[in-house]
Amino acid sequence: MILLQKRIIVATLEVDATLNIKSSTTYGGIQQDRYHDLINSLSKDKLKEVLHEDLDFATYDIRSFDYKEKKSQEPEIEETLDIMVSNYATITGKRLFILPNIMTRHHRKLSADSARKYDIDLSFEYKDVDTVEINIPLGYNAESMPQDVSFSNKFGKYQSSVRLSGSKLVYTRSMEHFAGRYPAADYADLVKFYEVVYKADRSKV
């Protein structure tokens, strides 16, 4: 069963670069198993500690969080977060540099290995779908926007785009990661897939 994650974020960027985030994430398939175990075995304080380990921000405060379970033949868990992140954007003179991918950045990078001998065994597949809206301070115009990215090979599919509409940045991202056993000769393609995703996930406005 595919590990499915759907995330919707509505955020507001203040003039001092503070980002106020309201995030709603639905975990389905096997992916919800981890959260089912956490919310049914940990106290609220311990659960907050796990959240702090998961979130990739330098300085932030979790103002509130909640989990709701949908118990059915295809169980889901919905996570809602209210987070304040200090210094999210970089301010340089009259410019703001903003990373539109707030919470779903891929971290895996692989080194090239032309002498690889063993097959590649990827044991799980997943799909992440993100929609992010960032309200930016009035008076800013786009000087540089990341190009749309659309890439696919035998290991997965990736698409991302960002648009500025008035004072609202709208970012969308979809990533599918396939499972399977692949010959060692395909390793360079896996390196390329992760490289494309890693770079696109960190493109700034």
Structure tokens at 163: 């648009």
- Write the pLDDT tens digit of every residue in 1-34: 567 899 999 999 999 999 999 999 999 877 777 7
pLDDT tens digit sequence for 143-200 = 999 999 999 999 999 999 999 999 999 999 999 999 999 999 999 999 999 999 999 9
Region for residue 25 given its phi and psi (left: phi exceeds 0; alpha: psi -120 to 50; beta: otherwise): beta
pTM recorded for the entire structure: 0.92
**pLDDT digit string (tens) for 41-90?**
888 899 899 888 889 899 999 999 999 998 877 789 999 999 999 999 99
Contacts of 140 (CB under 8 A, 6+ apart): 96, 167
